[in-house]
Amino acid sequence: MPEENKEHEKKDDEANTAPLPERVCVGGGPEYVLDRKLGKGGFGQVFVGRRVQTTKAKDGPNANLMALKFEHRTSKGCNYGPPYEWSVYQSLGGVHGIPKVHYKGRQGDYYVMVMDMLGPSLWDVWNSQGQVMSQEMVACIALEALSILKDLHLKGYVHGDVKPENFLLGQPGTPNEKRLYLCDLGLATRWKDSVCGTHVEYDQRPDVFRGTVRYASVHAHLGRTASRRDDLESLAYTLLFLLKGRLPWQGYQGDNKGYLVCKKKMATSAEMLCRYTPPAFRLFTEGVVNQKFDEEPKYEAYMKLFEPLCGPSPNRPIITEGAVKVMVGQKRGRDAGDDILDDGALPKKKVRLGLPATQWITVYNAHRPMKQRYHYNVANTRVDQHVEKGNDDGLYISSVACCQELWALIMDAGTGFTAQVYSMSSQFLPKEWIMEKWEEGYYITAMAGSMSGSSLVVMSKGTPYTQQSYKVSDSFPFKWINKKWKEGFYVTSMATSHTRWAVVMSRNAGFVDQCIELDFQYPSEGIHRRWDAGFRITACAATPDQSAFALSVPRRRPMDETQETLRTSAFPSSHVKEKWAKNLYIAGIAYGRTVS
């Protein structure tokens, strides 16, 4: 086990075994005696605290019962200082629907937060009602949850873990028993810079996941920076779970559960997900799953979708006055819901609409006029003659791909290589042959794999590389890539064989920065954001389920940085000739998962 995991395990063990104090008094507040355990949240555990000097108050700072949240000083949420969650609650003081923190401080080995005592979670309510919830109740939850999230987002935060367990009702028998609250801010992050007010920068770290697998947004699964769209996508899944009692991706088990759930979410359309529900649920879901990273959500319009389903105001199962204030405060005129009801609220460039497809992906770079040649549908027995003919004409292989056990070869005169060898092997990849060629001064410059497990690996001399390493993995090896980045390596080639990945990383690759875009369809939004930041695609590969792109910033920028991508069902022979006429040449090619 890696040392860092051992350390985390040690910390968690310490936090789980350290005795809790029987009495608590922090932050100048009254003394409380620990009562029953309410549950666990984030990195801590929550208990009922009963005031030693009893009062009749049921809420506020003098309430007889409080919720006490304990976090051990060594927990991941504390990092040997006050819990991160404390600062979030402090920033959100007074926000509608967020529980109030009345006292906080450290006692012994624990940081303690004394908060409003609330009632059951929506999960508890759903469970106690025979795992059924009325349409009226769910619509009211939608209305008020949107109002709470709007206020939370206005403060510059995203919650990061929206789910039924984190929505609580007020204490039974109090005026707030029908009021909705959103708790557990341990995973909250800023979407807006606290100093200059700008939106946080987009990034993707496929090895980082925050949230709860069942309700997390697809972007959270893929490790993208959290933004407002993620809370709303999680809310859509929460509402549909409460209304229908089950989500299509429940039941997956094992180490790759997150991968399978994300894949299923991507493959399930809003129409399929919302079948047999009122149109409001489909329109809301479709709108939020297609929202762009930094797009302003249409909270009021979404609220107006659900409002007609909530029933008459005085008798509603959830108090919706927060949402009503938002909608009443909106300008009169064209109904804010009109945009959604006629499907106009969906972004013009849709992020996730479209059918998953298997296509050719070609990447074109601007280059001064040069000779380039392509061959496709090439059987194993024909590769030799195409390569020999190309070599005789001064061309070397620059890219390879595989479709239905037949190879595609791109050969051109702009590689700068001085010699080249290749291997067609039944292995993915031929380790012994690669090691032998490394010894002779060759480096991997292109590779592809077939669905049956065979591979075509091209190695060349005349590259700038000084060292090379590769990894073959059953899942995309981002953790390994991240480790090698720190050692000065950059991704220079990628290939797939059915669902397996092979990634080659090289030292002295001529890059100063690099990132990865990985998606279950096609990361169009991410690629465009990276292009805007000065990155260009330098390697790509795709399985039947995912496509991945390595985007890099070159040490020496070319005079013309134009780059285009193309997705086609058939090999793009006619398109290639059109690109050549504009001095755009194939720089990368793959066959696999995209979106039509």
| Level-2 CATH architecture, domain 23-116 | 2-Layer Sandwich (3.30)
d(CA 504, CA 471): 7
pLDDT of residue 151: 96
d(CA 6, CA 289): 37
For residue 537, how many other CB atoms are within 10 A of its CB? 22
Residue 488 has pLDDT above 60, yes or no: yes
The answer to whether 183 and 132 have CB atoms below 8 angstroms apart is no
Give how far Cα 106 sits from Cα of 70, 73, 381, 560, Å: 9, 9, 73, 59
Which residue shows structure tokens 């009749």?
Answer: 56
pLDDT tens across 98-150, in order? 999 999 999 999 999 999 999 999 999 999 999 999 999 999 999 999 999 99
pLDDT of residue 340: 56
Among 55-59, 62-66, 161-165, 423-427, where is mean pLDDT lowest?
55-59
Residue 182 has pLDDT above 50, yes or no: yes
| Residues whose CB falls within 8 Å of the CB of residue 354, separated by 6 or more in sequence, listed in order | 521, 595, 596
Count, in order, helices (H) and strands (E) of the chain.
17, 25
pLDDT tens across 579-591, in order? 999 999 999 999 9
Task: Cite the active site residues.
Answer: 161
Query: Apex CA 23: angle with CA 20 and CA 26, to 5°?
Result: 95
The answer to whether 177 and 171 have CB atoms below 8 angstroms apart is yes
Please choose, from the candidates 365, 404, 369, 321, the residue with its C-alpha nearest in 3D space to the C-alpha of residue 140.
321
The answer to whether 543 and 495 have CB atoms below 8 angstroms apart is no
pLDDT of residue 270: 94
* 541 strand-pairing partners: 548
pLDDT tens across 219-276, in order? 999 999 999 999 999 999 999 999 999 999 999 998 889 999 999 999 899 999 999 9
**582 annotated binding-site participant:** no
pTM above 0.85, yes or no: yes
pLDDT tens across 25-84, in order? 999 999 999 999 988 765 789 999 999 999 988 888 999 999 999 999 888 777 768 999
The amino acid at 253: Q
pLDDT of residue 172: 92
Superfamily of domain 120-329 in CATH is Transferase(Phosphotransferase) domain 1 (1.10.510.10)
- CB neighbour class for 418 (10 Å; exposed up to 12, middle 13-18, buried from 19): exposed
Domains of the chain, residue spans? 23-116, 120-329, 356-595
